[in-house]
A and B are shown apart, each in its own frame.
Chain A
Amino acid sequence: MSHQPVKFYQTGTFTVGNRLLTPESRTVQASEARANALNSGHRACQGCGEALGARYAIDAAMRAANGRLIAANATGCLEVFSTPYPESSWQIPWIHSLFGNAAAVATGIAAALKVRGEAQTRVIAQGGDGGTTDIGFGCLSGMFERNDDVLYICYDNEAYMNTGVQRSSATPPSARTATTPAQGAQPGNTFGQGKNVPLIAMAHGIPYVATATVAELHDLEAKVERAMAIRGARYIHILVPCPLGWGAASQDTIRLARLAKESGLFPVFEAEFGEVTSVSKIRRHVPVDDYLKPQRRFSHLFGPQADPQTVAHLQRLADRNIRRFGLLADGDAPERVPVPEQADERHAAPA
């Protein structure tokens, strides 16, 4: 088995420079032959994590599908910044219908392709966290439950950024948004609310669920590739920092995505048929402060009116993730959650 005895990282990033890799282990993004599915010229903000995530994911999917890919897109930033009439950044067949129906539209496309014997053409649905975890959740769950042959990708920037940074069910506790202001006795978003859609996806027993961040391109591309090698309902949840909504510097997008993972606040893992199959270990464990401090949405926790109790509460959430997902190299194995029977059925007879 070939292995790399010496690791070359870019300073302080844990990112291997492409030049140091063999051509076959380089990323899709590093290839001149990448699809540029979301082409330049779109109107995303400087440092937009979602634009980056979408380009990484769709280019990887394009390679896996040999260029035969159709995407259904929920309403949201990605849709608005990529298709201002009469221009479009999409180099693939792409449809936007509504905010809450991307998964169902994708189901319809997949059904049409199946009937017409065009199974080599693959279908992706994509949306932000609002279009996925809130308004599109019914259609998403339906698509999962039927095990429709769709890869759904959620670009999670943890709030409704397109409408001006309002809270979604993916907004983390204590984060300031336009509808969870940093005011009152418990400033920011409430603890004990929100939902974990990757875990809910796993509870559907679908063939593949993964989380990823835009900080780890190799990992993200590998997960898209893995997902594309499978038929049936698949879900990838990508953390995509939003400089505008998070109140962060645009050059910090990648750094924040990495710190979200390294602090344990955003567990990066993959699961097949309802069972966790791998977790990305934390490589340099950092306290949650390192992740929170560069973001103005958490600024009420620091500074003159510092709130160490809330920071400690967030640290407990990160520690809990680390323990339960087994995120440290020398930590316990991830916990097993009961797997629904549908997972076994689907495992036995893949779609």
Chain B
Amino acid sequence: MLEQIEGSRAVAQSVALCRPEVVCAYPISPQTHIVEALSELVKTGRLAPCEFINVESEFAAMSVAIGASAAGARAYTATASQGLLFMAEAIFNASGLGLPIVMTVANRAIGAPINIWNDHTDSMSQRDCGWIQVFAETNQEAGDLHLQAFRLGEELSLPVMVCMDGFILTHAYERVDLPSQAQVDAFLPRYEPRQVLDPAEPVTIGAMVGPEAFMEVRYLAHAKQMQALERIPEIAAEFRAVFGREAGGLVRSYRIEGAETVVVALGSVLGTLKDTVDELRDAGMAVGVLGVTTFRPFPAAAVREALQGARRVVVLEKSLAIGTGGIVAANIKTALAGLPAAIHTVVAGLGGRAITRASLARTLHAAVDGTLEALSFMDLDWGLVNRHLERERARRRSGPVAEALLRDVGTVAARVS
């Protein structure tokens, strides 16, 4: 059914259609509207049977999900940013134990300085934690990916993180086609756990493993993710057959045919990128877009195939691996090893800095002109940066960086672009 609905509510309703049995959450912006909506669905009895648990921290949220999942329940939680970091130990534990928990991450920057706005630093910090990570481009896809996440995660006994851009998607009202319960029930079978805490058949879960078998346990986790590479496109195809629309999959290309320059990106910025590419194509530039929907497992073969013919690849990243550069770019480079394409990393949109069509067009022109550096920072205020570097050279006690920069900017921190 078509609805004009906030992204968070669309996700909450999609999750509810998956009939989760235990939902636990600790509030953090911009995840709050998702769990508020779910608490309402549980409280009013529209989502039943389901236990909604208000926990005291994100660490507890993931831990409650671990217990619920190990006891055989379909478990869900949502978080963002600092919350994701606070639950990091439990995140690794959930995947290590092979528990198919589904979690929404409303992508947000990581402090300090504290910042509530969107980028991908939170999810990227957990990219190697053993969870499957998928990134939604639109609110429609954000909802749909949850249906696929429960299906995939439970099939493989692996947890799945559905990443959606904080505020840009979570707080945006868009038209979303919400499926019917019958459709979802047809697509998502009842959860049959591989392991369950059951007095009728007692098992020990979480035993200590030494050097004699630890590598094998870790390898099996990797092997499962490799299985996911096979299953993700198949599940996306089944999804299309049931619901009649595209969602999920490994990668999605846009006007990539004959493109000499291809921009690779994740998440909602793909929309702006497509508009920019349309514009530039009209102006005669051979440019295209490759969206990476599944970031873990990393779809190296699909990426390589899609970028075969490109002369230049521009990786647009909403995160910065401080001290080296791009995280996504490093993965893309590995996938394209041996191919002649020049690979550029463009770090953009950190802490909610707007990524505009004009800036994207400028970047693509620079790439085509051969003036784009290997690593660049979109719309970075060099004046501000250099001024502070000068201040630090001049004075030992230069003070807190964030406060100094805000003074220089001469405006309140609420300005986001």
Contacts and interface: CB of A to CB of B under 8 A. Distances in A.
B206 A145 contact: no
B145 interface: no
Interface stretch (A65-73, A209-217, A284-292): A65-73
A188 to B, nearest CB: 31
Interface in B154-213: 197-199, 201-210, 212-213
Given A96-B207, A104-B63, A109 B70 contact: yes
Contacts of B63: 97-98, 101, 104-105, 107-108, 139
A142 B62 CA distance: 14
B237 interface: no
B204 A83 contact: yes
A69 B199 contact: yes
B90 A98 contact: yes
Contacts of A187: none
Given A96-B207, A111-B51, A67 B199 contact: yes
Contact of A105 (B51, B66, B202, B208): B66
B66 A92 contact: no
Measured as residues with beta carbon below 8 angstroms from the partner, the interface class of chain A is: 35 or more
Contacts of B208: 79-80, 83-85, 96
A85 B209 contact: yes
Interface string A74-115: 000001100111111011111111101100111111111111
Max chain B C-beta neighbours (<10 A), residue from A72, A80, A101, A141: A101
Given A95-B67, A115-B73, A88 B22 contact: no
Contact of B204 (A68, A88, A101): A88
Measured as residues with beta carbon below 8 angstroms from the partner, the interface class of chain B is: 35 or more
A111 B54 CA distance: 12
A146 interface: yes
A261 B204 CA distance: 35
Contacts of B24: 108, 111
A181 interface: no
Given A84-B208, A90-B204, A142 B55 contact: yes
Interface string B68-81: 11111101000000
A87 B213 CA distance: 13
A116 interface: yes
For the complex of A and B, the 8 pairs showing the least CB-CB separation, nearest first, are A108-B67, A104-B63, A142-B56, A96-B206, A112-B71, A112-B73, A101-B63, A105-B67
Given A94-B204, A104-B64, 20 more contacts: A70-B197, A85-B212, A93-B199, A93-B203, A95-B204, A97-B93, A101-B63, A104-B67, A108-B24, A108-B65, A110-B67, A111-B67, A112-B22, A112-B51, A112-B71, A114-B51, A121-B199, A138-B60, A139-B63, A142-B55
